[in-house]
Chain A
Amino acid sequence: MTGRLSELTGLQIMKNKYLNDIVLIAVLLAVSLVLWFATVTGGNGKTGEKVRITVGDEIIGEYSLGTDASVDVRGMLTVVIENGQVCVTGETCRNHICAKHRPISKAGQTIVCLPNGVIVRITGNGELDAVI
């Protein structure tokens, strides 16, 4: 009478319902793990992070952050993408006021060579809206 719930789901139905539960949970776990590996191992882990190189107003190239590359930017400098990090080498800008020389790797970060008007930026659905 009291706690009929536990009595109803007593022995006779136990095997069926609980077995179904276990199957359900196992399926859900499997699905979530499969999805996990599908998204995490695709690209650089985050969604669609790209390295965008602009000279002035012109986008001269967009490259995946996850693929190693070495890009010559009109003879002014070279953008190197390696192991998910981006750096700039061989700047010929006359006074080296390139703002940053350290490698960048997160969406929102930029390397700037202002005299040449070159901006190397990592775009994508990263969480950062600005990096200072």
Chain B
Amino acid sequence: MRKSRRGSIKKIIIAALLAVTSLTAFSSCGQKRFSETYTDVFDTVTTFTACCQNKNKFAELSQTVHDELKRIDAIFSIYNEKSSAFAINTEKNAIICDDMYQVLLVSREFYDKTGGKLNIAMGSVLSLWHEFRENGRSLPEKEALMSASAHADMDNLHFTDVNAAISDPDMTLDFGAVAKGYAADAVSRLLDCDFILNIGGNVYAGGHKEGGSKWSVGVENPDGGLLTVLAASDVSVVTSGDYQRYRELNGVRYHHIIDSETLYPSVLYRSVTIIHTSSLIADALSTALFCMDIESGRALALEYGAEALWMKNDGTLVRTDGFANYEK
């Protein structure tokens, strides 16, 4: 009686082990991960990582992603003469596609909600700073900045779902604060596999990585090391920091996030990190909050259901209430 029991126990154990190992082959992302880097979109480095069965499947997937990124970049890049953005800026009147309409809608909403801190109509001011970062010889003149800022009123942008027009001849749009976020969202809509996409610091983590755990996103400490590591799944993480794009002159660093009020790079914080399910919202919020005081920023984050992390100039960190839930 005992012996046959033992024999059947062993059989059960072996059968179960076999069943388990074959079942786990199908558990989420139980495949190999592949990565590809693109340097030809959004003027930054983009890395796409996904778990696929083999290299060929990944190559197909990567091609789809790259094509979509190029498509979005070709709509919002103000330096691409064939882009929708360029057409609006030069002709002041153009037919627009749905992607542009969606971005204009969200940008208008953010302009109102942030008191103009997020302003895609600030192109004339931003181009002065862009020029400085390119040639680095001299800072933009204060007078030039002031007069440029007179042509940054969002109310002079009129748009419908098919058309956009600018009534101020000296005003131009700049989508730097929202394009990457919109692109990441667009890619996430196309894919239903597990992946992580990093467009120059604008991250979207879809699903889980191999082994079933969430994707790990490290937030840099500008002074070295990391501020924190986040566990991300089906969520976007975006950081705006003074260390990402800058030019030094006479020992002073001038970074790329310009405050719409001071017209100079914002010096409130070292970095602001936002977590939200929409990368477009996260991108817009990170730029806006980088130029806002913490209380207003916190309120805005709360309104959108986003979590935020501020790194202040003295190195201390401030979090929204739910931010720590994402930290490892």
Residues in A lying within 8 Å of B, measured CB to CB? 54, 56, 95-97, 99-100, 102-103, 105-106, 108-110, 112, 114, 117, 119, 127-132
Contact = CB atoms under 8 A, between A and B. Distances in A.
B248 interface: yes
Given A108-B218, A132-B217, A97 B198 contact: no
Given A95-B136, A95-B247, A106-B226, A132 B220 contact: yes
A107 to B, nearest CB: 10
A45 B219 CA distance: 22
Contacts of B224: 102-103
A109 B136 CA distance: 27
5 contacts: A95-B133, A97-B245, A117-B39, A130-B47, A130-B205
B196 A119 contact: no
B237 interface: yes
Interface in B116-142: 133-136
Nearest to A54: B37
Interface residues of B, number: 39
Interface in B209-226: 209, 215-220, 222-226
Contacts of A105: 225
B131 to A, nearest CB: 10
Contacts of B190: none
A114 B37 contact: no
Contacts of B223: 102
B323 interface: no
B239 interface: yes
Contacts of A99: 44-45, 244-245
B264 interface: no
Contact of A100 (B218, B229, B237, B243): B243
B87 to A, nearest CB: 26
Given A106-B218, A132-B238, 17 more contacts: A95-B136, A97-B133, A100-B243, A105-B225, A112-B44, A114-B44, A119-B37, A127-B216, A128-B217, A128-B229, A129-B196, A129-B205, A129-B217, A130-B203, A130-B217, A132-B198, A132-B220
A129 B39 contact: no
B90 interface: no
Contacts of B239: 132
Interface in B176-206: 196, 198, 201-203, 205
Given A103-B224, A114-B43, A130 B215 contact: yes
Contacts of A100: 243-244
Contacts of B229: 127-128
A74 to B, nearest CB: 16
B45 A112 contact: yes
Q: Which of B133, B215, B220, B244 has the most CB of A within 10 A?
A: B220
Interface string B249-278: 000000000000000000000000100000
A112 B224 CA distance: 16
Contact of B237 (A102, A109, A119, A132): A132
Contacts of A110: 45
A106 B47 CA distance: 16
B136 A128 contact: no
A109 B229 CA distance: 13
B49 interface: yes
Which of A96, A103, A106, A131 neighbours the largest number of chain B CB atoms within 10 Å of its CB?
A131
Contacts of A131: 217-220, 226
The 3 tightest CB contacts between A and B, nearest first, are: A132-B201, A131-B218, A128-B218
B69 to A, nearest CB: 16
A96 B248 CA distance: 9
B196 to A, nearest CB: 5
Nearest to B256: A97
Nearest to B200: A99
Nearest to B273: A132
